[in-house]
A = this chain, B = another copy of it.
Amino acid sequence: MMHLYDVRDKTVVVVDIFRATSCMTTAFAYGVKRITPVATLDECLALKSSLCYTAGERDGKKIAEFDFGNSPFEYMHPSLLGKDIAFTTTNGTQAIVKSREAREILIGSFLNLSAVAKHLERGENNILVVCSGWKGKVNLEDTLFAGAVVELLKDTIKAACDAPLLAQHLYSQAKTNMGEFLKHASHVQRLARLGIKKDIDYCLTPDQFNVVPVLKNNVLTVE
């Protein structure tokens, strides 16, 4: 759907709840210095150095020669303090690449929901939440995050089309028990098959960290 939206006047929030943007949020909260999102495995490996780890997944699975996978718990490791990461995932980093003409690009997850919403509220740009989805198709969890942002900003920012309303309705229905609401969602079932229920619960926990990763010159940092 992104081709239908002109991102050039917008602050774009890229979200991939399960699990790329939840990993990135966690990594910054635990002291990572910079994250470079890249589209391909080769680009990722080319950036590897003593100061830069490689991280990411394809189809939800860790890549053998990479240092880190796509579980947010891996990014709580002390060895990452002050280091860089080159990061590639099936959907999340692709969404960042597609958003590159935006005026500002942020990384959103439930873990930094309120921090992102406050940043947006202070800004003056139009806002587009880019839900990474799964291979181009909509997914429920990223839509719920978009709905949560709409809900938090509803008194100050007006919806420009039906998509934010749809997301807000879903979030209002889901918010008291997102895990239960998502139990039939395709990605949750995919992750459950991979045995990572605790990742799901963690990624759905709002407001753990007061960090807002911002992309500048193709590199993510926090203030």
Q: Pick the contact of A136: B4, B170, B185 (CB < 8 A).
A: B4
A121 to chain B, nearest CB (A): 20
Q: How far is the CA of A135 from the CA of B3 in the complex (A)?
A: 12
B4 in contact with A137 (CB, 8 Å): yes
Contacts of A185 in B (CB 8 A): 162, 165
Main DSSP-derived SS at the A contact region:
helix
Q: Pick the contact of A161: B4, B170, B186 (CB < 8 A).
A: B186
Q: How big is the A interface, by class?
A: 20 to 34
Q: How far is the CA of A163 from the CA of B161 in the complex (A)?
A: 18
Q: How far is the CA of A130 from the CA of B1 in the complex (A)?
A: 14
Instruction: Kindly report how many copies of this chain are found in the complex they form together.
Output: 2
Given A1-B137, A1-B138, A138-B1, answer yes or no on A166-B170 (Cβ-Cβ < 8 Å).
Answer: yes
Q: How far is the CA of A185 from the CA of B143 in the complex (A)?
A: 17
B184 in contact with A159 (CB, 8 Å): yes
Q: How far is the CA of A148 from the CA of B95 in the complex (A)?
A: 31
B136 in contact with A162 (CB, 8 Å): no
29 CB < 8 A contacts A-B: A1-B1, A1-B137, A1-B138, A4-B135, A4-B137, A134-B162, A137-B161, A137-B162, A138-B161, A138-B162, A138-B166, A140-B162, A140-B165, A140-B166, A143-B166, A159-B184, A162-B185, A162-B186, A162-B187, A165-B184, A165-B185, A165-B186, A166-B170, A169-B170, A169-B173, A169-B174, A169-B181, A170-B170, A173-B173
Digitize A112-149: 1 where CB-to-B-CB distance is under 8 Å, 0 elsewhere: 00000000000000000000001111111001000000
Contacts of A159 in B (CB 8 A): 184
Q: Which residues of A contact B (CB under 8 A)?
A: 1, 4, 134-140, 143, 159, 161-163, 165-166, 169-170, 173-174, 181, 184-187
Closest 3 A-B residue pairs measured CB to CB? Answer: A139-B162, A140-B162, A4-B136
Q: How far is the CA of A139 from the CA of B4 in the complex (A)?
A: 14
Q: How far is the CA of A162 from the CA of B170 in the complex (A)?
A: 13
Q: Which of A136, A161, A174, A181 has its CB near the most chain B CB atoms (within 10 A)? A: A161
